[in-house]
Structure 1
């Protein structure tokens, strides 16, 4: 199985991608609206087809990317039926199974943080995605969204702590950079529910917590009841000056063929060294500034057209894109694969 754990620093949210190595079909769990491009880029680079979008609960600290990913990929949205969220294709109940070819997850209802929390258990019980029901050495709060400490304690002990001790726990959040735990660790060391705690211990701890509401709660809750669809129902604005492909490393790219057909509409910036222009021929009409000189000579790059950077392999020109952005150029891209790909396409 292909497995990736991704992180959103603003909300401290983990997003998970699971996919079958043979079918290349993928599931994503707890995607974040602002990270859609990152997630799509990863799927693209790994050659995966997104089929299923899962949320563990109606989040209060960030907006889910479920609706947006559905528009981009055609994948189905699955969420707890009890939540009653809009645009959900597969309403989930305790005991259901969701799957793509080669990856099966068991659905376990784990309410208490909210009324509609779900945890997803890999079929062989080697992994569980607990949302906020169990965090690493902690758990989600239980003081809003129909939360209940007694219910949460039962969810943790009956649904999570009943899994094999070596089952890896992957939570929806961690605020200290920790990435995973195990059932055995949390049973022993969880600060709220572990170490032999009984219901009275847990409820007393939770009732004594006095936390401010999440900063984005007023925005996140209504948006997440729409599965993340913006209030106006419109897709977010995207650059429309080129057929851009954003890499997982965050670099906007265009194909060499697009450069050729739009040559008059762009400024082409060749950042190779002079000896490369002699050996490999300079591209006619391109501005030639070696990468090492670009910052000092940035004023020579026109601002009236989009700028597309080029080098031998696309690596140095990717750095050129960063330098151009720093200098205030907002319509910039790298030639994907550089001159190597250019020649492969016989352009």
Structure 2
């Protein structure tokens, strides 16, 4: 039996982004999912305090609402690799594709490509399928928008139904964002109660085409920076 897995869910208030720190309790090898530039110092302090060896900083996609800290983090942590889906077109040490794994200790995260919000979206699933880190593809009672970058409502619907809703009902869903104070859901809950993804494909496309949401405030800065691992900006914003 694998040793216990440490999971910390961290939050950036400005962008409502969840960052996840996963670590093997014995070897102390760790992975950081969706790190945010403004919380770099917090995250690095936590890694140090817990005595962890950070192996990979991975982004679930090329974010439009915040700048990743993975590039600057690499400058502070010896041996750290950045990772992102190869379909994103973004720079990273590791270009991930469907079925690839991110190992840490005896644990691993398995890549499921879930495009639709962007071409390069992926969901990271623990090997035992008890946890899924869904990025923006599936949110708690919602999903990522499809009206910018390479968004496509049909692809997102098909991605969620074929790659996430096929996981066990008890699989915990950890999204990249939440705006209502929710922290975790399950595949079973979302399959039954998600107000968008329980609809037919045509109904879903109609909903997504009529959200009329404002443009993300940081998109013109965040996307170019995230295409180069966040390194256009040299230091965290105060």
TM-score range, shorter chain: over 0.9
Aligned counterparts of 1:91 and 1:221: Cα–Cα separation in 2: 17
Q: Cα offset for 1:235?
A: 5.2
1:93 touches 1:109 (CA, 8 Å); kept in 2? yes
1:18 touches 1:103 (CA, 8 Å); kept in 2? no
The aligned counterpart of 2:158 is 154
Q: Cα offset for 1:10?
A: 0.3
Q: Cα offset for 1:236?
A: 5.9
2:183 to 179, 183, 188: 179
1:189 to 1:237, Cα distance in 2 relative to 1, 3 A: closer
Aligned counterparts of 1:236 and 1:212: Cα–Cα separation in 2: 25
Partner SS state of residue 212, structure 2: coil
1:212 to 196, 214, 221: 214
Alignment of 1:276-315 (within 5 A): none
Partner SS state of residue 175, structure 1: coil
- Relative contact order, higher structure (CA 8 A, sep 6+): 2
Q: Deviations over 1:280-339 (max 9, x none)?
A: xxxxxxxxxxxxxxxxxxxxxxxxxxxxxxxxxxxxxxxxxxxxxxxxxxxxxxxxxxxx
The aligned counterpart of 2:41 is 37
Q: How many residue pairs are counted as aligned between the two chains?
A: 233
Q: Cα offset for 1:237?
A: 10
Partner SS state of residue 162, structure 1: coil
Structure 1 portions without partners, runs of 5+: 239-347
Partner SS state of residue 10, structure 1: coil
Bigger share in helix: 1
TM-score (norm 1): 0.66
The aligned counterpart of 1:300 is none
The aligned counterpart of 1:141 is 145
Quick check: 1:82 aligned with 2:87?
Answer: yes
1:205 to 1:126, Cα distance in 2 relative to 1, 3 A: same
The aligned counterpart of 1:290 is none
TM-score (norm 2): 0.95
Aligned counterparts of 1:92 and 1:125: Cα–Cα separation in 2: 19
Structure 2 portions without partners, runs of 5+: none
Q: Cα offset for 1:102?
A: 2.2
Alignment of 1:45-64 (within 5 A): 45-64=49-68
Partner SS state of residue 65, structure 2: coil
Aligned counterparts of 1:121 and 1:92: Cα–Cα separation in 2: 13
